[in-house]
Amino acid sequence: MRPMSFGQGGPQSQWDPWTPQSQQQSWNSGSDQTPDWAALAEASEARNKRRRLLFVGGGALATVAIGTAVAMAVVSANGDGGQANNQTSQLPATADIPGTSTAAPPSFAPTSAPPPLDPKDFVSSKEKDTAALSPQILFPGTQLTMGDTVYKKGPTADTTSCASAARQTLPKVLTANDCTRLLRVTYTKDGIAVTVGVAVFDTEAQATKAKEQADDKSIVKSLDGGGVQPFCNAAVCRTTTNSFGRYAYFTIAGFTDGKDVTTKDTEVFATGDDLAEFTFRQIRRRGEAQASAAAAEG
């Protein structure tokens, strides 16, 4: 119910819908006064205008509110970004950031010994092969044991006239390749004798060439004496040829009774092979000894 205002003899107040406590004049108050339509129209117009202003004002306020919310969101986002920026700004200066080191990497002393020297190098040329050499050094002792077989050592010989200690085609081969020395030794066992001849050259190439040029008729002279009967002077004997470093070595093996050697005489073949193998080992040991001495000297 609308509040009623009762006059106290003064003039009636005009009703203004936008003014608090204003009162509307009753059209049915019993007065014959006709409503002021023009005034009502003006009042309606004023109300509409004020409503439009309020709507405009409300829109402005809404815009301001939206703008404020957006600003707060931006501020909030900037706040997070500010922390990121702060973290970035708190990084050390470029001079403080570790970069690629220009210092040389640490070096360490080798933990393993250098590879051993090759023994063959020390018996491949006269420049390196300087150790003493003689039949007694190359073939020491009074006997030789190969596996279960024992050979008795006989006479030895040493000459610088290589051709004089060779037969048939071998003197020419030795001379053509400049042989400088020929050492010989004879071993015997159970009626079998074998002479080993070691030809010495200045270079490995000369020794290799001599081995290649030797044929089935390239024979070292058998060495007898000192209780060893002559052998392989007229009989058929078994021969071998090989080389290592600057040394070419030859064997001739046969029976001390002058009997010919056949393919069935395996003991003769074994004797020749044993002495050829021992000669190779002795030449290699010579190289090993000199390589070891050179390594010790540094």
Residue partners of 27: CB distance under 8 A and separation at least 6:
35
Q: Point out the least confidently predicted range of 103-112, 181-190, 207-216, 239-248.
A: 103-112
Rounded to the nearest angstrom, the gap between the alpha carbon of residue 221 and the centroid of all alpha carbons in its chain is: 55
Strand partners, 199: 182, 248
Q: Is the pLDDT of residue 71 over 80?
A: no
Greater confidence, 172 or 29? 172
Residue partners of 217: CB distance under 8 A and separation at least 6:
168, 169, 170
HSE-CB of 37 using CA atoms within 13 angstroms: 1
As a whole number, mean pLDDT of residues 230-239 equals: 96
- Is residue 16 included in any domain, yes or no? no
As a whole number, mean pLDDT of residues 185-197 equals: 98
Question: Helical H runs in 90-169?
Answer: 135-138
* 126-149 tens-digit pLDDT: 999 999 999 999 999 999 999 999
- Is residue 201 included in any domain, yes or no? yes
Q: Is the pLDDT of residue 76 over 70?
A: no
Distance, in Å, from the CA atom of 173 to the CA atom of 43, rounded to the nearest integer, reads: 148
Q: Is the pLDDT of residue 168 over 70?
A: yes
Which of the given ranges, 24-38, 73-87, 270-284, has the highest pLDDT on average? 270-284
What pLDDT, on a 0 to 100 scale, did the predictor assign at position 242?
98
As a whole number, mean pLDDT of residues 153-166 equals: 98
Confidence band of 217 (pLDDT split at 50, 70, 90): very high
Greater confidence, 41 or 267? 267
SS3 of residue 80 by DSSP: helix
What pLDDT, on a 0 to 100 scale, did the predictor assign at position 77?
40
Angle at 106 between CA 104 and CA 108, to 5 degrees: 140
Domain of 201, in residue numbers: 132-287
As a whole number, mean pLDDT of residues 82-111 equals: 52
HSE-CB of 224 using CA atoms within 13 angstroms: 14
Distance, in Å, from the CA atom of 266 to the CA atom of 271, rounded to the nearest integer, reads: 9
Q: What is the CATH number of the domain that holds 166?
A: 3.40.1000
Distance, in Å, from the CA atom of 216 to the CA atom of 188, rounded to the nearest integer, reads: 23
As a whole number, mean pLDDT of residues 105-131 equals: 80
- Is residue 280 included in any domain, yes or no? yes
Q: For residue 261, with 0-12 CB atoms within 10 Å meaning exposed, 13-18 middle and 19 or more buried, which class applies?
A: buried
What pLDDT, on a 0 to 100 scale, did the predictor assign at position 208?
98
Q: Is the pLDDT of residue 104 over 70?
A: no
* 250-275 tens-digit pLDDT: 999 999 999 999 999 999 999 999 99
Q: Is the pLDDT of residue 167 over 60?
A: yes
- Is residue 180 included in any domain, yes or no? yes
Confidence band of 116 (pLDDT split at 50, 70, 90): confident
- Is residue 142 included in any domain, yes or no? yes
- Is residue 204 included in any domain, yes or no? yes
What pLDDT, on a 0 to 100 scale, did the predictor assign at position 26?
42
Total count of domains within the chain: 1
- Is residue 136 included in any domain, yes or no? yes
- Is residue 297 included in any domain, yes or no? no
Q: Point out the least confidently predicted range of 52-66, 150-164, 194-208.
A: 52-66
Q: Point out the least confidently predicted range of 78-87, 239-248, 280-289.
A: 78-87
Distance, in Å, from the CA atom of 225 to the CA atom of 186, rounded to the nearest integer, reads: 9
Q: Is the pLDDT of residue 161 over 80?
A: yes
